[in-house]
Each structure stands twice: as C-alpha cells, then as structure tokens.
C-alpha cells in the first residue's frame, strides 16, 4: 500500500507539535511511507529542516500548511507546483503582517484570494482538534448545515482540488464520526482523504505534547482537562494500523498517494534571484562590478597593483561571473558606501576577508598582498553554496543601515532572517515544572542553580536532589525526563543578529514574512541554516560595540587633542603599545580582554600585527582541542625544533611555526598533503563544523590518511594532522577573520595607551559591550593616571565627557533609573545659568520628585554645596511628594531640615554609590576590611606577583566576572577584585560543586588556594570558599558566563 501522511505538525507549530522535523521524516521512512506532508499551523518555518532530512531517503516531502481562518473551518493546503507555493507564502504573509508578532489573522476571503492552484483538505469533521468536545452542545442539525455550507464554500474556490479530511484516533466516537464525515462528503460532493492529524512521531511523545499544551494555555497538565488529547494516537501509524482504521473507507487511503502524485513541487525548485538595480544605465552588474574593482585596486595600490593581487582579482572575478554573484557583491558595496557616507564605522570580516575583490571594493581591510588568502574558503565551485559576507557596523547605528535596505528594496523584497529561539535548561525546567504543578519557589530555585554544564542530564538530577526533589518519585522522574526532551525544542522565532535577505522579485513568494517585535522590522520564517540549505544569499549586517567605541573615541581625541584619527592613519607597530599588550594590560581592548586572552599574552608576547592575528585565533576551541597551543608556544620560545616533512607543507605552516592554527591552513594542508581539490577542502571545513553532530569527519579520514601516505608522509604525521583537523570541529578561527579583528585589537590598544581618558569615556558611552562593567573600566582608567570626576547636575552631560586630555567627567547615563530625556531636561535648564538650589533645579527642569531624589541619592548635587543626605532631604521636600521616596520611608517629610543631619559613614557612601551608579570614586569596599583580612592572612591581589609558585595563599574581594569556556572541561574562571587590583581564580568542577551555593550566587568571597605563577601568568587554584556577601553587600553584580 502506498500511503502519504498529509497532515503533520512539527515542533515549529510552536507549543503544539512534539517532534522535530527530522524525527518525523526518519519515522516516516522507517514505516515505509510514500510521502509526508509537513503542515505546520499558519507557517512554513519547519519545512526546510524536513526537506534536508528527506534528501536521499526515498521519502517524498510535500510542502503545505494548516491554515486556520477566523471565520471558517481550518483547512490543510498543499502546494502542487511552484506558483501555488508562492501563493501559499503570500497567504501566510498576509495573515502574519496583519497580526502581532507570532500571530496570524486570516479569513475565508483571504484563502479564496490565494486559492488558485493549491490543493485543499478541509478539517470540517466533528473532532478536528483537541477542543472538539466543547462543541457537543451545538445541535446536530445546526452542525450539519454549518459543515455543508463550509464545504460548499471551499469546494467553490478549490474546484477539483478540494477534499474532506478523515482522521480517526481510536476514540469511542470513531464510528459516529465516520458516519458524519460520509454524510458531509456525499452532501457536498467532496471526496474523503485519510490523514493522521500527527503531532509527534512516536506515542512516547504524548506526555511532552501534554506539557506543551499546558504551557500554551498557561495551566498545569492536571488543569488542562479537555484541552488535552485523550490518548496517544496523534503519532505516525504503521501501514497495518492505517488499513485497520480506514477499513470502511479504503478509497480515502488511496487518495493520499494520488494527492502526493499531484504534488510535484520541491524546495529544490526555488530559484533565488538577487536584486539587479545597482548597475548604472547601460552597464550590466558584472561590468559595473569589474569597473569598481579595478578602480578600487588602483586606489589601494597607487604605486601599482602587485602581480599576486592581479592574478587573485582575475581568478575571483571569473568565478563570480561563473556563479553569477556579481549583484550580491554590488549590494554589499552599496551598503558599505551608505554607512561611510553617514559617518558610520564599518568593516567586513569572516570568510569574505579571503577575497581580494572585497578588499578592493573597500568592504574588508585585509590586504591580499600581505596575507595568503584562500578564496575557496569564501566561494567555491564544488561547494554549491552561497557566499556569506559579514559586515560589522557600529552597534548604536546599525538600525540606520537596516532601514536603508528596507527603504531601498521595500518590505516585499527585504526581510531579516529568523533566529530560532529554543528551550535551554533553565527555561525548560521552569516550563515543565509549572506544567507539572511544582511550586514556583521550588522551580525558581532549581532553575537558578543550574550552571549549564555540557552533561545537563546529570547536573539536573544532582540539582534536583540538592533541592530535596525525589528523582525516583513519579513527579521527579517526569520532571527529569520531560525537561530533557524539551531542551532544544523551538519556542518561537526571533530575529537573526543582522542577516538581511533581498530578492529581485517578491520575497513573500519565496518565504512567508512576519512582523518583528521591534517596530519597523519584518522577519522571514527561515533561519540562516535554512537559507544555506537552499542556497539563498543573505547579507550579514552585524553590530560591533567596539566600532561604536572607536568612533566615539576618535571624536573625543579630536576634541581634546586636535588630532583627527581614523582606522587607516593610526601609526602601526608602536613599541609602547605592544609592551602594554605583552603585560596583558588590556582591560577594554577588543578581543584580548578575556581571562584566557590575558593569560596568553605574556606567553605569546605579540610584537607585530601578524602576532595579533595569531593571538586572536589561538585562544579558540579549535586550536585548544587540537592540542596546537602548547607546541606553538614552545616553538615560539625556542624550546622545540620547528620541522616540516616537505617544502609544500612548509609554505602552508611556516608563518605559524609548523602548527595549523587557522581554518585556511587546514584546508591548504588537505590540498598539498592529501591531494584534495580546493572545493573538497572546503567540504572538509564544513564537515569539521558538523562532525560532532553527524560523524561526517570519518568520511574524510581515510581519504586524508591515504592521500598523505601516497605523498610519502609518515603514518604518525598523517594521524597527527587528522587529529588536529578534527580539533577544529570545536570551532576553528579563519585567518581572514582573525586578520580583520587584529586591526581593531591594535587600534583599541593604541587608544587605550595614548588616550586612556577618551578610551574609557567611549567604552562607557557605548555600553552595553565588552567583558567589564563601568566600575572596573573606571578603576582601570584611574590606575592609568586618569582623573575621574563625579556625576554632577551642573557639569555632566548624558554621556561621559572630557574636561582635559586625562580628565574624565562621568555622565548622567550612569545614574540608575534616570532616563535620557530627563538628562536632556537638565542640560537644557543649564543654558539659563548654573543650577544653584534644588528648589530651583526642580522648577527649571520640571522633573518629578522621584527623579530628583534619585539624583540626590547619586550625589549629583555636589556643585550646589549639598552633601548626599542634605540633597536627599531637600529633594523629598519638593512638590509631587507621592512619587517614589527612596531610602527614607516617610510619606511627607517636613520642608525644613534640621540644622544638622546625621553624617553618613564612608562605608554607607560607598554602598549608596554602587546602588545608584554601579561604581564608586571613594575607597574600594574591600579596603574597609583590610585590617580584618590581614589578621586572617589574606594577601592583597597586587602582592601575588611577589610570591613563589605553588605557595598556599588566601585572597578576598568582590567577584566581577565568572567564565566557563566550552574547552575548559568544567573549569570555571573567576576574576576577584580588591582595593589593590584583581586576582584570577580557577575553580575545578569538584570545588565548584562542593561550594556551589557560594560559588554560584555570592559576589564576595574569601578564598584559600594554591598560587600558580608561570611565564608571567598568575592565578589561584581555589581549594576552599567562604561567603563574604554580608560584609560586602549591595555591590554591582558580576558579569557572568559570557
């Protein structure tokens, strides 16, 4: 029997379907189905994943959707050809654009206007959904009239293409439902077709589907009642079961494969066409691209284009022409031109930096004459995959770029790629716990205690036991099992960080478009992986906080030093800048401010731009897992000989001392050492990224080993190279990407060294970004000789400003709870002269009492000659007294302050500073406890460098950063700060678990451990933790787990 399941929801019918698309496809193959229709509710979001899973399986995939009009029965629509598919996309787009994000509002009239060519299966039976039992109160006669009328209307708009769907789930009313369906079919002259109303691939997923239903309705499973399916029959059934269920209407089974045979459309037919309008009249896009490229080459190389670059450009332009990507390059060029015309800093990166054409177009900054590029990393014939150009823009101005694209191409031709938001451990715990009826307090504490270790199942069970949840009880077992199943399930669609898709024709005939949560944005239903699968081009308009900070820093330097800096004119190779980098004095510096990078800098000791390229790339999972870091460092230090099996391999690895550090080197090794073509090498790169998921690396293993043996390379060398290549599956960095980033590393380091006040002002004014909070950035700036002045209503702008080349005035943006419009009112009020009294301040600014009180709490009235407590008293005496009255719990304080208010202690001032500003310019909070800490034997952080390796030490301070990299094998790296500096702590997993409550939740520790001091890298391996939160309370929270 040939059977096609025509009504199947994946988990992209959010909070309804309980199986992934690939699970449904695999199960359909196992059951011997002829075809499977993916018909998510008002959506095509899951269809590409099903398409990818069905490739090569022998299963025919039918593209469709279940449409739920507000004024008619639901209908399943199937796309038999490309034109009908386009109308289905337009229909869904209309409903999505009409409604709020994530919703869809369609009417029968909408369906009628898009019906041409589509096949329809009407869900007009008595029990087409879980809530069908709620309609039992409607008399049979009325139901008959409604059912026939609805079928008649659908039959009219789908002539010869309309069916009545028959679905049975072994319910007590199956016989009655069959009679009803046969009656409707005869009365409306619409044939019956069999389907399963599938929500999951196997019956074992029924409990998860119940949980999803409970989540959707905001109730517990116990409260869901009739909203739950009564049995586990919404699964893909065996052919024998289907014969039994439809024994009385065998023709309905026959029609499933008849419909499948009518549906010849495949997603492979989608032909993506890029916009062509950028070429001027009389020129083709290719001619225009060539003109711009050669003009750019002359500008880049005014003394003559090097022969190497000439050959690269000829090769790349030939390949671009062959693969017809010229319009894509023009689009990115146009985007970069627009940004620069608006003064928006931008820079291309990623694999596009392997392109000499991109360099000559001004998209990227990596000079192909200085770096060995591998264009096939970007575009190759064999790959049959769209190129991907990433351009970073300032994060505070990226929206201007996106809106430019919308205005240029229109909303029907441009949209942002989706990002699939999935359940992670904590969100899964919360949702499953609520659905099972656990107390909210218990769920919250359990979720907050999860650390996100790779082996989440073991950690979840352990945390449950710590919380007193019996994991052997029925509820405990269900909580564990269902949480594990829910992790990784899609929850909703969000926006990609900046991937824009533009088309020559209507985008809404390629993929449905919906409204984004952000105003003035629209999002397509497919994510980057879906687009890559179908070969659809996107332009990644990404945002980078450091570009914003650099542009703002340039402006401040121009203001106070009269020097006009650009990315291009920063002096290269400055010895003092590299000295600073080698000391790991890099807080705030792009890419090299993390704990791991700071630990690497004194060992690698960068002295030139290519050293920075290596520095950026080497502290990544790929080189670490491939065990390449230590060999490279030993060779760099002269502790290990550098040897090469032959000259071909020397040319690939010479710059990195015989150790592959970059993805491009891995690809080149495959070519020169194993005989791969460039395209095969790129396929190897893709396999490296996927080997953990699907084991594809093993396919290449034998080819690599055989190829190296045939070229006379030893078995040992061949195996070592393979292990290094496999290590890159953990995430290897492209050299082109690292080279793009290295420029920003050097520029930001230069600005930090020569203009520390402007640099820290720009960093704070560009928040949120980077690893460190303003408190640490300000502290670091003061250590570099910057005078930092407090927030003041008479002198502060919204942003931090400079009152001299090394004098920083903190901005009003740091006052917590203060809106930018309120800061603007303060600045406007000052135009009439200085603000002299709080009463005058309130009258001139018009600010509410709560805002004035917040400023007083932040000690922002210092220039008025008022201390914090007196200012707060005066603020609370202003009109509008019913506003929030922080700190003082008095509903109506007297207007006249006493002659003397009790003085606040320095400790109280510091605590209030942290509460209102997130930082303090007063003594560090740990300094108040230094005498006590000395008695306990605690060493100040600054003195750790003077102690010998492996010394037992004690340190204490506030926690400013926790990190757990994927390559750390469960190790947590923590930065602790006291009044003298910072200490780097290392917590191995057993210690983290032993002191979990303190380690996870406390922001102030007393630590005992072993000092490790090697190669200028100092850290403390923690052996014991003690909570100091009560002593150092109310401080700024740490920035955890970046």
Q: What is the pLDDT of residues 768-826, one digit of tens each?
A: 888 889 999 999 999 999 999 999 999 999 999 999 999 999 999 999 999 999 999 99
Least confident of 195-199, 427-431, 761-765: 427-431
Can you tell me which residue has the tokens 């003041």?
792
pLDDT bracket for residue 288 (50, 70, 90): very high
**Closest-CA residue to 581 (of 550, 612, 555):** 612
Question: Residues with Cβ < 8 Å from 251, sequence gap 6 or more?
Answer: 191, 192
Least confident of 132-141, 554-563, 592-601: 132-141
**Closest-CA residue to 1003 (of 1033, 1041, 972):** 1033
Cα separation, 350 vs 544, in Å, equals 13
**Which tens digits make up the pLDDT trace of 129-158?**
333 443 444 454 555 666 688 899 999 999
Looking at residue 893, its pLDDT comes to: 44
**Which tens digits make up the pLDDT trace of 36-58?**
999 999 999 999 999 999 998 99
**Mean local confidence (pLDDT), 517-537:** 89
State the CATH class of domain 925-1040: mainly beta
Looking at residue 877, its pLDDT comes to: 78
Radius of gyration from C-alpha coordinates of the chain = 33
**Mean local confidence (pLDDT), 406-427:** 91
Cα separation, 306 vs 92, in Å, equals 53
pTM for the full predicted model = 0.82
pLDDT bracket for residue 900 (50, 70, 90): low
| Average pLDDT over the chain, rounded to an integer | 87
**Which tens digits make up the pLDDT trace of 712-755?**
888 888 888 777 777 665 556 678 788 888 999 999 999 999 99
No. of helices (H) and no. of strands (E), the chain:
42, 23
The reply to whether domains 4-269 and 424-487 share a CATH topology is no
Q: Is the pLDDT of residue 451 over 90?
A: no
pLDDT bracket for residue 703 (50, 70, 90): confident
Can you tell me which residue has the tokens 């380690």?
999
Looking at residue 605, its pLDDT comes to: 94
Looking at residue 62, its pLDDT comes to: 98
DSSP state of 231: S
Element holding 51 (H helix, E strand):
helix 47-54
Question: Residues with Cβ < 8 Å from 111, sequence gap 6 or more?
Answer: 67, 69, 72, 75, 77, 91, 157
CATH of domain 4-269: 3.20.20.140
pLDDT bracket for residue 1033 (50, 70, 90): low
State the CATH class of domain 424-487: mainly alpha
Q: Is the pLDDT of residue 456 over 50?
A: yes
Q: Any bridge partners for residue 955, and if so which? A: 1007
pLDDT bracket for residue 875 (50, 70, 90): confident
Q: Is the pLDDT of residue 625 over 70?
A: no
Q: Where are the beta strands (DSSP E) in 68-169?
A: 75-78, 119-122, 162-166
Looking at residue 969, its pLDDT comes to: 66
**Mean local confidence (pLDDT), 854-859:** 92
The domain segmentation of the chain, as residue ranges, is: 4-269, 424-487, 623-732, 816-917, 925-1040
Q: How large a percentage of the chain has pLDDT more than 90?
A: 54
More confidently predicted of 547 and 898: 547
């Amino acid at each position: 029997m040939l059977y096609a399941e025509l009504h199947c929801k994946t988990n992209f019918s959010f909070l309804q379907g309980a199986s992934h698309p690939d699970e449904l496809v695999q199960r359909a193959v196992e059951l011997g189905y002829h075809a499977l229709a993916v018909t998510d509710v008002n959506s095509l979001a899951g269809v590409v994943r099903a398409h990818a899973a069905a490739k090569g399986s022998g299963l025919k995939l039918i593209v469709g959707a279940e449409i739920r009009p507000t004024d008619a029965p639901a209908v399943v629509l199937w796309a038999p050809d490309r034109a009908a598919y386009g109308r289905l996309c337009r229909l869904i787009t209309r409903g999505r654009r009409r409604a709020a994000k994530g919703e869809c509002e369609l009417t029968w009239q909408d369906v009628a206007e898009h019906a041409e060519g589509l096949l329809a299966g009407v869900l007009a039976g008595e029990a087409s959904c879980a809530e069908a039992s709620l309609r039992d109160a409607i008399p049979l006669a009325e139901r008959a009239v409604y059912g026939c009328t609805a079928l008649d209307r659908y039959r009219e708009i789908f002539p010869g293409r309309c069916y009545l769907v028959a679905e049975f789930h072994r319910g007590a009313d199956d016989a009655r439902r069959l009679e009803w369906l046969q009656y409707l079919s005869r009365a409306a002259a619409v044939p019956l077709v069999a389907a399963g109303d599938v929500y999951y691939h196997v019956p074992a997923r029924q409990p998860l589907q119940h949980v999803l239903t409970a989540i959707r309705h905001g109730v517990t499973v116990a409260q869901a009642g009739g909203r739950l399916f009564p049995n586990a029959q919404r699964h893909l059934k065996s052919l024998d079961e289907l014969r039994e269920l439809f024994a009385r209407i065998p023709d309905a089974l026959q029609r499933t494969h008849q419909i499948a045979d009518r549906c010849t459309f495949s997603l492979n037919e989608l032909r993506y066409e890029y916009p062509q309008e950028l070429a001027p009249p009389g020129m083709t896009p290719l001619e225009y691209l060539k003109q711009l490229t050669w003009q750019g080459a002359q500008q880049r190389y005014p003394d003559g284009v090097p022969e190497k670059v000439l050959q690269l450009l000829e090769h790349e332009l030939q390949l671009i022409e062959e693969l017809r990507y010229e319009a894509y390059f023009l689009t990115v060029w146009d985007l970069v031109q627009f940004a620069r015309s608006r003064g928006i800093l931008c820079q291309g990166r990623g694999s596009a930096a392997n392109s000499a054409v991109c360099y000559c177009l001004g998209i990227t900054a990596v000079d192909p004459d200085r770096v060995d590029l591998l264009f096939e990393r970007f575009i190759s014939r064999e790959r049959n995959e769209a190129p991907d150009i990433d351009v970073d823009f300032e994060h505070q101005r990226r929206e201007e770029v996106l809106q430019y694209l919308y205005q240029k191409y229109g909303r029907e031709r441009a949209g942002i790629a989706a990002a699939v938001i999935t359940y992670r451990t904590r969100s899964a715990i919360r949702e499953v716990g609520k659905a099972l009826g656990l107390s909210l307090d218990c769920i919250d504490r359990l979720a907050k205690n999860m650390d996100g270790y790779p082996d989440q199942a073991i950690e979840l069970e352990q945390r449950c036991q710590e919380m007193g949840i019996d994991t052997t009880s029925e509820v405990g077992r269900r909580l564990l099992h269902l949480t594990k199943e829910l992790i990784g399930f899609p929850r909703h669609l969000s926006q990609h960080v900046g991937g824009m898709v533009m088309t020559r024709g209507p985008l809404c005939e390629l993929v449905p478009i919906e409204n984004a949560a952000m105003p003035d944005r629209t999002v397509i239903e497919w994510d980057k992986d879906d687009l890559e699968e179908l070969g659809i081009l996107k332009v990644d308009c990404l945002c980078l906080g450091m570009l914003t900070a650099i542009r703002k820093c340039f402006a401040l330097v121009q203001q106070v030093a009269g020097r006009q800096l650009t990315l291009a004119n920063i002096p290269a190779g400055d010895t003092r800048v590299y000295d600073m980098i080698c000391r790991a004095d890099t807080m705030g510096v792009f890419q090299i401010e993390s704990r791991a990078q700071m630990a690497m800098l004194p060992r690698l000791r960068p002295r030139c731009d290519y050293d920075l390229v290596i520095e950026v790339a080497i502290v990544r999972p790929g080189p670490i897992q491939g065990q390449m870091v230590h060999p490279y460092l030993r060779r760099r230090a002269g502790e290990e000989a550098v040897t090469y099996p032959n000259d071909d391999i020397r040319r690939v690895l010479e710059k990195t001392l015989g150790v592959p550090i970059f993805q491009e080197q891995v690809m080149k090794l495959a070519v020169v050492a194993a005989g791969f073509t460039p395209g095969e090498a790129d396929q190897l790169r893709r396999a490296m990224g996927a080997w953990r998921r699907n084991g594809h690396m093993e396919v290449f293993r034998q080819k690599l080993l055989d190829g190296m043996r045939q070229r006379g390379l030893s078995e040992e060398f061949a195996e070592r190279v393979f292990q290094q290549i496999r290590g890159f599956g953990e995430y290897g960095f492209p050299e082109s990407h690292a080279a793009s980033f290295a420029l920003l590393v050097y520029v930001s380091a230069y600005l930090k060294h020569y203009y520390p006040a402007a640099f820290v002002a720009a960093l704070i004014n560009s928040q949120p970004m980077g690893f460190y909070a303003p408190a640490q950035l300000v502290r670091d700036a003061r250590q570099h000789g910057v005078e930092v002045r407090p927030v003041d209503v008479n002198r502060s702008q919204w942003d931090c400003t400079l009152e001299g080349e090394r004098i920083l005035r903190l901005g009003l943006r740091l006052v917590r709870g203060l809106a930018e419009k309120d800061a603007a009112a303060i600045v406007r009020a000052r135009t009439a002269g200085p603000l002299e009294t709080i009463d005058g301040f309130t009258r001139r600014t018009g600010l509410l009492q709560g805002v004035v009180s917040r400023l007083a709490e932040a000690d922002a009235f210092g220039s008025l000659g008022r201390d914090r407590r007196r200012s707060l008293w005066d603020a609370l005496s202003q009109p509008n007294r019913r506003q929030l009255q922080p700190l003082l719990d008095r509903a109506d304080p007297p207007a006249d302050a006493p002659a003397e208010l009790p003085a606040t202690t320095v400790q109280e001032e510091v605590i209030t500073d942290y509460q209102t500003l997130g930082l303090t310019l007063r003594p560090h909070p740990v300094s108040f406890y230094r005498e006590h800490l000395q008695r306990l034997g605690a060493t100040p952080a600054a003195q750790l460098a003077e102690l010998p390796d492996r010394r037992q030490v004690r340190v204490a301070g506030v926690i400013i950063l926790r990190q757990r990299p994927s390559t750390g094998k469960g190790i947590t790296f923590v930065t602790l700060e006291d009044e003298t500096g910072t200490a780097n702590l290392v917590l191995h997993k057993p210690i983290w678990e032993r002191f979990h409550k303190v380690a996870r939740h406390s922001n102030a520790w007393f630590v005992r451990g072993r000092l490790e001091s090697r190669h200028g890298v100092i850290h403390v391996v923690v052996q014991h933790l003690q909570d100091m939160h009560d002593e150092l309370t109310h401080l700024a929270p740490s920035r955890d787990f970046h």
